[in-house]
Amino acid sequence: MGSYGMKKIAIIGECMIELNGEPFGLMQQTYGGDTLNTAIYLARATPKSAVEIHYISVMGTDKLSQGMVADWQAEGINTDWVLRDKTRQPGLYLIQLDSLGERTFLYWRNQSAARYLLQHHDYPHILSQLKHMDMIYLSGISLAILPDSDRTLLIQQLTELVKLGVKIAFDSNYRPALWESLQKTQEMYTALLPFVTVALVTFDDEQAIWQDIDEQATIQRLKQSGVRTVVVKSGKHGAIFNDIDGVEQQVPTIPVDNVVDTTSAGDAFNAGFLSGYLQNKPLEICCRQGNQLAGVVIQHKGAIINKSATIHFINQFN
């Protein structure tokens, strides 16, 4: 476990090359991925002396991969556990936006390097080090991209780490196209949820997976499954948390008039929340930080906005 004062979090997932713009028109090339977005915003929102952020993934040895990892290092993320695969490259996705800033995605990721994380010859070393983390964060996408047997193995490994005192934070982030079936999604989530310390879920995802009728149904189901602290994100309506003692509160967000791009809004919320959580702030403050950071991010294009746009936000919190 991390020493007093300095917390350590390991974030498991995939980062892809992002193309943003009009097909056959002007396209901007950058990168993004739900857990990587959270890692970067967490690094920006948190004093370096408070939290050490490790990203766990696999990238290629190509120039794009090298450039992406160098950028993450420049953001203050520890990339020692970003493994390299000489035979595979990162996945690719295209974002298309409508007039209201809502987005649709096209993906090319079936053979991405990150999919084979658990099969990498250096993965056992990472696994041996995870017992020293205070928290491990992953998402539904982190699970979905893995081969089925590797999903089961990862969940088993996480449950062993929980027994050693490591906390698990999980965002159920649901992409139906990545799963063989809804039943498989439910099976994997059901196996993991009893070991989750903090669930950071979006109501729309929970409704799609479990047919929950409202946020209260989501909270009750997750608490019954064994999740200690539940946070349900509801977009412009803010978030509701239910803590380890069952204390519940709605935390409204400040309305944003200039919504440009909702890409990574939930990822940014998670970063703002976890920044507070890892610094032992009250859950209400954690949710307010999440709401505020998401509110900044949706006023700019792309999954990872320019660092200068987050400076004011960061100064508010630290």
Contacts of 307 (CB under 8 A, 6+ apart): 44, 75
Cα maximum dimension of the chain = 54
E-assigned strand segments in the chain: 7-12, 16-21, 27-32, 51-60, 82-85, 92-97, 103-108, 135-139, 167-171, 198-202, 229-233, 239-242, 248-251
For residue 69, CA distances in Å to 9, 53, 116 come to 18, 14, 18
Burial of 268 (0-12, 13-18, 19+ CB in 10 A): buried
For residue 51, CA distances in Å to 21, 30, 142 come to 35, 26, 22
* Gap between the Cα atoms of 169 and 186, Å rounded: 18
- Catalytic residue, candidates 134, 205, 261, 267: 267
Q: Which residue has the tokens 């929970």?
A: 206
Q: What are the structure tokens assigned to 204, written together?
A: 């729309």
Q: Are 139 and 108 in contact (CB under 8 A)?
A: no
Active site residue 34: no
Q: Which amino acid is at 15?
A: C
Q: What is the DSSP letter of 2?
A: P
Q: Are 198 and 166 in contact (CB under 8 A)?
A: no
Q: Report the SS3 class of residue 89.
A: coil
Question: Which residues are marked as active site?
Answer: 267
